[in-house]
A and B are shown apart, each in its own frame.
Chain A
Amino acid sequence: MSGNTQPYFRSRAAVSLRIVACLLVGVALLVFIGYFVVYTNYAAALFRFPFDYDQGEGFELMDTVLFSRGRWPYQDINRYPFYSSNYPPLFHLLTVPLVWLFGPQYWTGRLVSYLATLVTAGAIGYAVQREGKRWWLSLIAGLSFLASNYVYHVGSLFRQHLTMVTFETLAVVAAAVVIQKEERRGSQSWRGWLVVMLLLLAAGYTKQLAYATVAAVFVFLFLRQPKRAIRWAIPFGLVTGLIFLGINVATNGQWLTNTITANLNPFVPGQAIGLYQQWFKLHTLLIVVAAVFSVYQLYFERLSAYTIWFVLATVNSVTAGKWGAGESYFTTAIAASCVLTGIGLARLLNRFEQESSSQDRHGWAGLTDWCKRISAWRAAAYVNSSHPRPSAQSAPSAFYLAQAIVALLFLWQASLVFHLPTHTPLLRSVASLLGQPAEVMVAPQTSCSAPRPPQPVPYVDTARVTLLGRPPTAQDTAAGIAIANWVKEGRTAAFSEDAGFNFYAGRDVVTNPTQLLNLYQNGQVDLTEMMAMLDEQRFDTVILRAQFYPPPVLGVIGQRYRTTELIEMNGFVYCIMAPK
Chain B
Amino acid sequence: MITKRQLGLGLSLIGLLGGIVLFALDWVGASQFQGIGPTQRILLGAAGLLFLVGLSLIPLGQRPA
Contact = CB atoms under 8 A, between A and B. Distances in A.
Which range holds the interface residue count of chain B? Answer: 10 to 19
Interface in A200-248: 222-226
B65 interface: yes
Nearest to A270: B38
A382 B64 contact: yes
B2 A223 contact: yes
Given A223-B7, A225-B1, A382-B64, A267 B39 contact: yes
B38 A269 contact: yes
B50 to A, nearest CB: 10
Which range holds the interface residue count of chain A? Answer: 10 to 19
B60 A299 contact: yes
Contacts of A224: 1-2
A303 B65 contact: yes
Interface in B47-62: 53, 56-57, 60
Contacts of B38: 269
Nearest to B3: A223
A467 B19 CA distance: 41
Nearest to B39: A269
A474 interface: no
Contacts of B57: 298-299
A226 B2 contact: yes
Interface string A236-271: 000000000000000000000000000000010100
A322 interface: no
B65 A302 contact: yes
B21 to A, nearest CB: 16
A303 B65 CA distance: 6
Contacts of A267: 39
A353 to B, nearest CB: 27
A225 B1 CA distance: 5
Contacts of A225: 1
Nearest to B46: A315
A361 to B, nearest CB: 33
Nearest to A297: B65
A222 B6 CA distance: 12
A279 to B, nearest CB: 16
Contacts of B7: 223
B60 to A, nearest CB: 7
B60 A223 contact: no
A302 B39 contact: no
Interface string B16-40: 0000000000000000000000110
Interface centre among A267, A299, A382 (most CB of B within 10 A): A299
Nearest to B43: A318
Contacts of B39: 267, 269
A269 B39 CA distance: 7
A299 B63 CA distance: 10
A382 B65 CA distance: 10
A352 B62 CA distance: 30
A288 B25 CA distance: 34
A269 B37 CA distance: 11
A299 B58 CA distance: 10
Contacts of A226: 1-2
B2 A222 contact: yes
Given A222-B2, A223-B2, A267-B39, A302 B64 contact: yes
B65 to A, nearest CB: 5
A85 to B, nearest CB: 30
A120 to B, nearest CB: 28
Interface string A281-292: 000000000000
Contacts of B1: 223-226
A322 to B, nearest CB: 12
Interface centre among B42, B60, B65 (most CB of A within 10 A): B65
A330 B60 CA distance: 32
A222 B65 CA distance: 10
A488 to B, nearest CB: 49
A223 B2 CA distance: 5
B13 to A, nearest CB: 15
Nearest to B2: A223
Nearest to A222: B2
B15 to A, nearest CB: 13
A130 B21 CA distance: 43
A299 B61 CA distance: 11
Contacts of A223: 1-2, 7, 64-65
B31 to A, nearest CB: 13
A4 to B, nearest CB: 50
A298 B65 CA distance: 7
Nearest to B64: A302
Nearest to B11: A298
A267 B1 CA distance: 38
A246 B46 CA distance: 38
9 contacts: A223-B2, A223-B64, A223-B65, A267-B39, A299-B56, A299-B60, A303-B65, A382-B63, A382-B64
Given A267-B39, A269-B38, 11 more contacts: A223-B1, A223-B64, A223-B65, A224-B2, A226-B1, A226-B2, A269-B39, A298-B53, A298-B57, A302-B65, A303-B65
Return the 9 tightest CB-CB contacts between A and B, nearest first.
Answer: A223-B2, A223-B65, A269-B39, A302-B64, A269-B38, A303-B65, A226-B2, A224-B1, A302-B65
